[in-house]
């Protein structure tokens, strides 16, 4: 439908946007630096450009400035992990039509993308507040199962993911997790490797034997390559080392949920 340029040095963000926007029929091209982004903008003339703020070399605000120097009518959206009022003001003054925080609900992201793709002469709907929340009346929230023997981590992830609109259940060990999956299979499982009795590798092996087709994100402080390789061979979506950043986990969850539907 449209060519969209993503300029971000974080691979997970590029993968997420390629999956989400590609599933809507868009041609997504990516650059990991500002310099490469400007070259692709010049060569491909994208309908929309999505830029991160903090990148090595040329930062996002400078990329925004140079893009609008080349094409004052170019549609540019900022998607950043850093969202201060000063940065938002600078982005607005530089010509960005939207500033969203990384980890924003996908419905809000697609709404912003669709506004950016509107022809300039078309009447635009009332814009959402920058970084607005999920819209009421949307689809049923995705279901996630957290499997970890540490109650602090279970509670943390329960609160964090529930606040983002997901339906979350928890299990403290492998047998409890398998029982919950048998009752109602979640779309995504966050699975620790080190569990009492039945470790995460055995749990995932049993899940696959039972034809569980959902996504699995592995959470672990383990650096044992054989364990990690075993999880990847059983189609784990992502390996998240402990301690992990919650915002990065939120992105991994979005990718995992998209992949589980393919």
pLDDT tens, 9-28?
998 889 889 988 998 999 99
Q: Determine contact, residues 66/95, Cβ cutoff 8 Å.
A: no
Check pLDDT > 60 for residue 175. yes
Tell me: do 251 and 151 sit in the same domain: yes
SS (H, E, C) 1-47: CCEEEEECCCHHHHHHHHHHHHHCCCEEEEECCHHHHHHHHHHHCCC
- Residue 83 structure tokens: 């969202």
Check pLDDT > 80 for residue 230. no
Question: What confidence score (pLDDT) does residue 120 get?
Answer: 54
Tell me: do 98 and 7 sit in the same domain: yes
Average pLDDT over residues 222-251: 77
Question: What confidence score (pLDDT) does residue 177 get?
Answer: 94
Tell me: do 148 and 256 sit in the same domain: yes
Tell me: do 93 and 163 sit in the same domain: no
Place of tokens 């990516």: 30
| Residue 138 domain flag | no
Tell me: do 168 and 103 sit in the same domain: no
Question: What confidence score (pLDDT) does residue 41 get?
Answer: 96
Question: What confidence score (pLDDT) does residue 222 get?
Answer: 62
- Residue 104 structure tokens: 């924003």
Place of tokens 């029929």: 25
Tell me: do 254 and 156 sit in the same domain: yes
Average pLDDT over residues 193-204: 89
Question: What confidence score (pLDDT) does residue 174 get?
Answer: 93
* DSSP bridge pairs for 220: 241
| Residue 128 domain flag | no
- Give the three-state DSSP class for 77: strand
102-106, 124-128, 158-162, 225-229 — which one is most confidently predicted on average? Answer: 158-162
- Classify the phi-psi angles of 44: left when phi > 0, otherwise alpha if psi is within -120 to 50, otherwise beta: alpha
Domain that holds residue 185: 143-260
What beta strand segments (E) does 150-262 contain?
Answer: 167-171, 188-192, 215-220, 238-241
Per the prediction, the chain carries an average pLDDT of 85
Tell me: do 107 and 216 sit in the same domain: no
Q: In what order do the strands lie in the sheet with 27-31?
A: 27-31, 3-7, 48-51, 75-80, 98-101
| Residue 136 domain flag | no
Tens of pLDDT, residues 66-116: 998 888 889 999 999 888 888 888 888 888 989 998 878 888 889 899 988
| Residue 110 domain flag | yes
Domains identified in the chain, total number: 2
- CATH code (residue 226): 3.40.50.2300
- State how far the alpha carbon of 177 is from the alpha carbons of 80, 161, 172, 185, 255, in Å: 35, 18, 7, 10, 22
CA dihedral (25, 26, 31, 34) in degrees, to 10, reads -150
**DSSP 8-state class, residue 210:** T
| Residue 229 domain flag | yes
Question: What confidence score (pLDDT) does residue 51 get?
Answer: 97
Report the b/e string of 220-259 with b at 16+ CB within 10 A: bebeeeebbebbeeeebbbbbeeebeeebbbbbbbbbbbb
**Under 8 Å CB-to-CB from 42, ≥6 apart: which residues?**
70
- Residue 217 structure tokens: 């994100």
Average pLDDT over residues 175-189: 94
Check pLDDT > 50 for residue 122. no
pLDDT band at 216 (very low <50, low <70, confident <90, very high): very high
């Amino acid at each position: 439908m449209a060519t969209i340029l993503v300029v971000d040095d974080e691979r997970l963000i590029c993968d997420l946007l390629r999956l989400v926007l590609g599933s809507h029929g868009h041609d997504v091209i990516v650059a990991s630096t500002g310099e490469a982004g400007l070259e692709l903008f010049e060569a491909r003339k994208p309908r929309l450009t999505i830029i991160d703020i903090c990148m090595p070399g040329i930062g996002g605000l400078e990329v925004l400035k140079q893009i609008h120097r080349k094409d004052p009518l170019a549609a540019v959206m900022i998607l950043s992990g850093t969202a201060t009022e000063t940065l938002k003001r600078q982005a607005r003054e530089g010509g960005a039509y939207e500033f969203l925080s990384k980890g924003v609900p996908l419905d809000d992201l697609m709404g912003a993308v669709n506004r950016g793709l509107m022809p300039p002469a078309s009447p635009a709907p009332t814009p959402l507040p920058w970084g607005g929340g999920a819209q009421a009346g949307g689809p049923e929230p995705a279901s996630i199962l957290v499997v970890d023997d540490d109650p602090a981590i279970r509670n943390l992830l329960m609160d964090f993911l529930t606040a983002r609109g997901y339906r979350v259940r928890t299990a403290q060990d492998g047998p409890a997790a398998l029982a919950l999956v048998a009752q109602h299979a979640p779309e995504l499982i966050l699975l620790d490797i080190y569990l009492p009795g039945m470790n995460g590798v055995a749990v995932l092996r049993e899940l696959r034997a039972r034809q569980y087709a959902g996504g699995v994100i592995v959470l672990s402080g383990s650096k044992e390559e054989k364990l990690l390789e075993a999880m990847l061979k059983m189609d784990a979506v992502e390996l998240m080392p402990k301690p992990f950043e919650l915002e990065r986990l939120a992105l991994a969850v979005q990718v995992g949920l998209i992949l589980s539907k393919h």
